[in-house]
Structure 1
Amino acid sequence: MTAGISSLLPSAQSGTGTSTASDSTQIAGNFSQFLTLLTTQLKNQNPLDPLDTNQFTQQLVQFASVEQQLKTNDRLASLLTASKSSAAATAAGLIGQTVTADGSTTSLEKGSAAWTLNAARAVPKASITITDAKGNVVATQTKALTSGAQRFTWDGRGSTGQLAADGRYTLKVQALDATGQTVSVDTKISGSISSVDVTGAEPVLTIGDRTVPLSGVQAIGAATSG
């Protein structure tokens, strides 16, 4: 009989990976069956050879642990649903707002593209390279950068002076300070949010023709000018 009781444990524990109605029904059924078998054994045990109560206690603890895990999974699922709904509501409120987000690629529209550069410290000479969607170098510039956030605007003109076609362009910065040490320069993009996609695990914002996850937003409002 003891072996029969022990055999119930694996089927009950197998439901700990997911939180579903079938899991709860299964653990309840197995627990009820376990108690029935336990009661029957206690009533019919041999007084000269009593059953091992420690084993029964351990099995009861295991069942209680599995049941608690199922309840915990249900609560976590509820919290995740509430959190996702809150994030979706927050993201929807950003439509029409100007935000600054992580990224080095933005759109050139009507001869203008802008990035926000954030230098760790002042740089007397920084090399700025702009490439098109195919990776071809379109323009290069050299300019000094101040410490902190500053706006960099490209007029869309390449090294030959010709106006580049509208599209997506990527900016790369190589910066050295007065001692020749490399300086870290973070690159961000700014733009108005036109739509929000809330179908995934995290809301995704559309800035021009680019998508950015909500977690990538660094600031809300106009970018810092410099």
Structure 2
Amino acid sequence: MTTVTSATATATATATAGSTGKTGTGIGADFNTFLGLLTTQLKNQDPTKAMDTQEMTNQLVQFASVEQQISMNGNLDKLIGLQQAAQLTAAAPLMGKVVEVASDRISLQGGTGTLRLPAAGAASLARVTVLDAAGRTLKQQDVTLGTTATDWVWDGRNAAGQRQPDGGYRIVVAGRDKDGNPQEITANVVARATAAERASGGDLKLVLGGVAVGFDAVRSLGQ
């Protein structure tokens, strides 16, 4: 029985190597490969201890199951690719539209960047800090929260008045109550959608100038 198993594995490896680079080949699609596996297995049986019929049937069923799974995985990959392409196409109407997204990076477009702060609650004040790629503070400002959402607009200048190039900048928003105690606060970024792309990992991204976010980060659509 050990000899049969070893020979079957060798035949399987040979068949696999021979089918490398071919599309749609395998046990179910290539009858010659199937016959090769079956013949090799029969040749290597011990004549005095022929393989049990049920055991052979089980192996043939396993061969078919593996082939079916390979085919199913291929079809699933195609389906995912088509779905992602459809999502990219569906994102076309967003291009040029103002979008509110959850992000820790503000998009500086045309010299301005907008951050949407929530209405006052436990926090009545928000300290907004804009950082560059090296983590240096470019701008910091305290904003009093109103009864409705407040848009804070950055003019693209640092504390020294120097204009920064368009792109994505990290933001940190810290909430404070009327007594100055820290309070949790969530702010969103408002920017104009400029592109939609598929990242290297297959994830779809909505591009807002120098900031890219997943479509699940979209919170609202504007004009």
- Give your verdict on TM over 0.5: yes
Task: In structure 2, give the amino acid aligned to 1:32.
Answer: L
Q: CA deviation at 1:23?
A: 7.3
Residue 98 of structure 1 corresponds to: 98
Match of 2:163 in 1: 165
The answer as to whether partners of 1:132 and 1:138 remain within 8 angstroms in 2 is yes
Matches within 5 A, 1:90-169: 90-103=90-103, 104-107=105-108, 109-110=110-111, 112-118=112-118, 121-145=121-145, 150-156=150-156, 163-167=161-165, 168=167, 169=169
**Structure 2: gaps (5+ residues):** none
Counterpart AA for 1:33: G
Deviation sequence 1:98-136 (CA, Å, 0-9, x none): 1122322321644x4211234794312332223344433
Match of 2:206 in 1: 205
1:25 counterpart SS class: coil
1:202/1:213 contact within 8 Å kept? no
- Residues 93, 126 of structure 1: CA spacing in aligned structure 2 closer, same or farther, 3 A cutoff? closer
Q: Provide the residue aligned with 1:25 in structure 2.
A: 25
Identity across the alignment (%): 25
The more displaced of 214-223 and 69-78 is 214-223
Q: Which letter maps to 1:69?
A: Q
Structure 1: runs of 5 or more not aligned: none
- Stretch of structure 1 that moved more, 165-174 or 145-154: 145-154
Question: Contact (CA 8 Å) 2:7, 2:41: kept in 1 or not?
Answer: no
Corresponding position: 1:59 with 2:59: yes
What is the SS of the residue equivalent to 2:219?
A: strand
Residue 165 of structure 1, CA deviation: 0.4
Partner Cα distance (2:124, 2:41) in 1: 81
Between the aligned partners of 1:139 and 1:32, the Cα distance in structure 2 is 73
Residue 173 to residue 214, structure 1, CA distance change in 2 (3 Å): closer
Measured against aligned partners, the alpha-carbon deviations of 1:69-91 in whole angstroms (never above 9, x if no partner) come to: 11211221221121121121122
Tell me how large the CA RMSD over aligned residues is: 4.0
Distance 1:129 1:12 in 2: 62
Is this contact kept in 2: 1:115–1:153, CA < 8 A?
A: yes
- Residues 149-196 of structure 1 show CA distances to partners (whole Å, capped at 9, x for unaligned) of 54222345665xx64404354331112346876433233322222233
